[in-house]
């Protein structure tokens, strides 16, 4: 049953303006308390000398404030909405209680203009996560409502510098403003999603970060774009992949790698005395995204740059005989094979759905809404989502409240030794997304190409 505004307004998660007074963290309760305000702001996205771009921001910054918390601590966010539209915050990849998941109309009512809400939860697993708007996310994320959430682990690798890079693309007009005329374009929704024409890292064009000579860095890369699949290249240094979507992975040396919308990758990079460059190769032009520049005046790195030992890998459950299997047949979009689908209890042709309802995607023949429950499963059960991307487009599949192991037809050994919360499925790919349903509540399964979600590629899995 969905939470409504009326039956929720008296709950403990709604706060008064007095709750927005800054509070000091207490060593006794190990709680980090922060204030976050969503509101209009401006930032210099384009080269120096060009106009400031009008955006929607958290605390007036792009990205929003980096939230840093220790493994096992509690996070208490006092959130206020100073936009003219309703909004919420979703904590991507973090296993929060369902009431804290930030999905307006499913787990909480939208936070209306000039109203407040408290998000409170314990963060148990270290890693790289992020937070972003989840009310009309296709517009609100595209306008800048996102930030990083970093959970420091007790056994984290020792580094000289820990650097977060949130990579995003923006569709700007000739005046350097958000191209509002193209917002909600049906062409975008039926194809790859909203692709931008300007690339930034941490809100800057050709982002630069200075580091010590001969230092070891941890580079946390987050794809904050609506739809662009980043194809990144590291030159001047080799990255050692140590984590994907906040989960430890087997070490792999990489210089070229791909990150779908919402995915994260953590690299250990040993820097010498020359710059390390990050380029994006996802468009026709090779774009310089970021520069890591060693500076002699910062001194020498002090961390021992010896061989690292992987730890914390969690293997796939060995016994899957009693697992619950759920089929997810993805259809629709341009050049698709979907002729009709069910929407709000009625069958419609794809022509009607596209022209009248602006819906072009479906799971199992149903255009997704928060009313579309894929299944109800018992807590503690292992679930296998048998996903078939029967479309002409890639999709970044994200499951709220859980992460999953992946078996896919793209790999010959049929075994992947890492868990993720977002997986990029190629056209016509078949994959099994395997997860333990250990977090009760109503959880979204959706494509994180945000326009695809808005136009039907979404369902709910209830864990009871």
pLDDT at 29: 52
CA dist 423 → 134, 185, 251, 267, 390 (Å): 19, 25, 19, 18, 16
DSSP 179: -
Give a yes or no: residue 306 inside a domain.
Answer: no
Q: Are residues 277 and 335 in the same domain?
A: no
Judge whether 452 and 444 are in contact, CB under 8 Å: no
Domain boundary among 231, 266, 300: 300
Q: Are residues 189 and 263 in the same domain?
A: yes
Q: What is the pLDDT along the chain (464 residues), one digit of tens a residue?
A: 333 333 332 333 333 333 333 333 333 456 789 999 999 999 999 876 668 999 999 999 999 999 999 999 999 999 999 999 999 999 999 999 999 999 999 999 999 999 999 999 999 999 999 999 999 999 999 999 999 999 999 999 999 999 999 999 999 998 899 999 999 999 999 999 999 999 999 999 999 999 999 999 999 999 999 999 999 999 998 899 999 999 999 899 999 999 999 999 999 999 999 999 999 999 989 999 999 999 999 999 999 988 888 777 777 777 788 999 999 999 999 999 999 999 999 999 999 999 999 999 999 999 999 999 999 999 999 999 999 999 999 999 999 999 999 988 776 545 556 789 999 999 999 999 999 999 999 999 999 999 999 999 999 999 99
- Total domains in the chain come to 3
Give a yes or no: residue 316 inside a domain.
Answer: no
Give a yes or no: residue 228 inside a domain.
Answer: yes
Give a yes or no: residue 282 inside a domain.
Answer: yes
Give a yes or no: residue 319 inside a domain.
Answer: no
User: Can you tell me the distance from the alpha carbon of 327 to that of 364, in angstroms, rounded to the nearest whole number?
Assistant: 8
Give a yes or no: residue 195 inside a domain.
Answer: yes
Give a yes or no: residue 179 inside a domain.
Answer: yes
Q: Are residues 147 and 15 in the same domain?
A: yes
Q: Are residues 31 and 10 in the same domain?
A: yes
Give a yes or no: residue 307 inside a domain.
Answer: no
CA Rg, the chain, in Å?
22
Q: Are residues 283 and 392 in the same domain?
A: no
Q: Are residues 195 and 259 in the same domain?
A: yes
Q: Are residues 31 and 83 in the same domain?
A: yes
Edge-to-edge strand order for the sheet containing 230-235?
207-213, 287-300, 276-280, 230-235, 256-259
CATH number at residue 430: 2.60.40.420
Residue 145 is encoded by which pair of tokens? 């409502």
Domain boundary among 107, 135, 152: 152
Task: Looking at 80-171, list the stretches that DSSP marks H as alpha helix, in order from N- to C-terminal side.
Answer: 137-140
Q: Are residues 245 and 342 in the same domain?
A: no
Q: Are residues 104 and 203 in the same domain?
A: no
Domain that holds residue 357: 324-463
Q: Are residues 191 and 288 in the same domain?
A: yes
Q: Are residues 245 and 343 in the same domain?
A: no
Q: Are residues 273 and 328 in the same domain?
A: no
Helix (H, G, I), strand (E, B) or coil at 4: coil
Residue 51 has φ and ψ, to the nearest 5°, of -70, 150
Domain boundary among 89, 122, 152: 152
């Amino acid at each position: 049953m969905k939470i409504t505004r009326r039956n929720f307004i008296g709950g403990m998660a709604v706060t008064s303006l007095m709750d927005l007074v800054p509070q000091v963290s207490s060593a006794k309760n190990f709680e980090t308390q922060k204030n976050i305000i969503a509101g209009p702001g401006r930032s210099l996205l384009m080269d120096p000398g060009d106009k400031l771009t009008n955006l929607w921001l958290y605390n007036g910054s792009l990205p929003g404030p980096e939230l840093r918390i220790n493994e096992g601590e509690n996070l208490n966010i006092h959130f206020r909405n100073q936009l003219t539209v309703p909004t919420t915050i979703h904590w991507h990849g973090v296993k929060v209680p369902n009431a804290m998941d930030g999905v307006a109309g499913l787990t909480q009512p939208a936070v209306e203009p000039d109203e407040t809400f408290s998000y409170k939860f314990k963060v148990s697993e270290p890693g790289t996560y992020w937070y972003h708007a989840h009310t009309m996310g296709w517009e609100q994320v595209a306008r800048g409502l996102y930030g990083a959430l970093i959970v420091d682990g007790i056994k984290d690798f020792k580094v000289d510098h820990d650097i977060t890079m949130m990579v995003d693309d923006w569709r700007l007009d000739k005046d350097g403003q958000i191209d509002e005329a193209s917002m909600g374009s049906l062409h975008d929704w039926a194809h790859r999603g909203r692709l931008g024409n300007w690339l930034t890292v941490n809100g800057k064009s050709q982002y630069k970060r200075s580091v010590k000579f001969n230092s070891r860095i941890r580079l946390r890369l987050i794809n904050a774009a609506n739809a662009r699949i980043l194809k990144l290249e590291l030159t001047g240094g080799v990255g050692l992949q140590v984590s994907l979507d906040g989960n430890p992975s087997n070490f792999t040396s990489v210089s070229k790698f791909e990150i779908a919308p919402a995915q994260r990758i953590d690299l250990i990079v040993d820097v010498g005395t020359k710059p390390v460059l990050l380029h994006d190769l996802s468009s026709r032009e090779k774009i310089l995204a970021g520069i890591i520049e060693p500076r002699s005046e910062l001194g020498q790195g002090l961390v021992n740059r010896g061989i690292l030992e992987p730890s914390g890998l969690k293997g796939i459950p060995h016994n899957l005989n009693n697992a619950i299997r759920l089929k997810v047949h993805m259809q629709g979009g341009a050049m698709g094979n979907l002729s009709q689908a069910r929407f709000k209890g009625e069958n419609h042709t794809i022509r009607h759905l596209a022209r009248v309802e602006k819906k072009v995607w479906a799971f199992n023949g149903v255009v997704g809404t928060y009313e579309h429950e894929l299944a109800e499963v018992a807590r503690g059960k292992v679930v296998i989502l048998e996903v078939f991307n029967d479309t002409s487009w890639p999709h970044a599949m994200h499951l709220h409240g859980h992460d999953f192991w992946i078996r896919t037809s793209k790999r010959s050994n049929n075994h992947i030794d890492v868990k993720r919360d977002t997986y990029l499925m190629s056209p016509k790919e078949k994959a099994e997304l395997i997860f333990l349903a250990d977090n009760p509540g109503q959880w979204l399964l959706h494509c994180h190409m945000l326009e695809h979600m808005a136009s039907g590629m979404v369902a709910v899995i209830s864990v009871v």
